[in-house]
């Protein structure tokens, strides 16, 4: 499949996220037919605008329920607040864009894009962190009317288009969150 626009890239990654989340929740070793169907239907629905991404309010509720830990490494002490999409790059100074980060990760990441920084460390982001990031990126692209803009013509954005994952590791190699989530806590899908 060829992805040519900003919207197609963001929708494809979000649909892959839903596929991965479903597989991880089912403790699958690899992606199966059901997971691929989830991805296919969601991608088509997002592009046709017959389906929507989940609201950021769901992520805010999860943020209150998840164990308070650095969203990058899982450390539970020396926490500070980090802008997932850095303010210096144009990220919003709102609660939607704030995540917990230990001082070490926050300092190391600095004003870099979170996905770019994690990729430099050979780490795939936890799915719930990626979900929040993609929702913010989709919201920004929609507000700026960039969803139908060809990737080659996209202006510089607060988030890194080149860091948006198009392929996901097998479900047994990705995490839902950086620390174990007990079964009774928020294991909702994208």
Give tens-digit pLDDT for 94-114: 989 999 999 999 999 999 999
Q: Is the pLDDT of residue 62 over 90?
A: no
CB of 126 closer than 8 Å to CB of 99? no
For residues 109-134, average pLDDT: 95
pLDDT attached to residue 181: 60
State the average pLDDT over residues 11-38.
Answer: 97
pLDDT at residue 187, as a whole number: 43
Percent of the chain with pLDDT over 70: 95
Burial of 22 (0-12, 13-18, 19+ CB in 10 A): buried
Give the mean pLDDT of 36-46.
98
Q: Are 64 and 57 in contact (CB under 8 A)?
A: no
Q: What is the average per-residue pLDDT within 17-31?
A: 96
Residues 6+ apart with CB under 8 A from 158: 85, 86, 89, 90, 91, 140
Say if residue 40's pLDDT is above 50. yes
pTM over 0.75? The answer is: yes
Lowest mean pLDDT among 78-82, 150-154, 177-181: 177-181
**Tokens 């992606």 — which residue?**
31
| Mean per-residue pLDDT, 154-175 | 95
Q: Which two tokens stand for residue 115?
A: 């996905």
Among residues 132, 105, 134, the alpha carbon closest in space to that of 6 is found at: 134
Banded pLDDT at 32 (limits 50, 70, 90): very high
């Amino acid at each position: 499949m060829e992805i040519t626009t900003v919207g197609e890239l963001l929708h494809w990654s979000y649909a892959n996220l839903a596929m991965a989340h479903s597989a991880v929740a089912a403790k699958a070793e690899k992606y199966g037919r059901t997971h691929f169907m989830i991805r296919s239907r969601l991608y088509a629905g997002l592009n046709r605008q017959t389906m929507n991404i989940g609201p950021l309010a769901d992520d805010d509720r999860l943020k209150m329920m998840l164990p308070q830990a650095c969203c990058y490494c899982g450390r539970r002490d020396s926490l500070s607040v980090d802008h997932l999409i850095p303010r210096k790059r144009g990220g919003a100074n709102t609660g939607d864009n704030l995540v917990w980060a230990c001082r070490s990760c926050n300092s190391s990441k600095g004003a870099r894009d979170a996905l770019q920084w994690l990729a430099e460390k050979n780490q795939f982001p936890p799915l719930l962190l990626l979900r929040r990031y993609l929702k913010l990126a989709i919201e920004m692209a929609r507000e700026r009317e960039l969803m139908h803009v060809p990737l080659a013509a996209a202006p510089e954005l607060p988030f890194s288009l080149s860091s948006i994952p198009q392929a996901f590791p097998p479900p047994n190699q990705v995490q839902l969150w950086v620390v174990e989530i007990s079964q009774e806590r928020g294991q909702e899908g994208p």
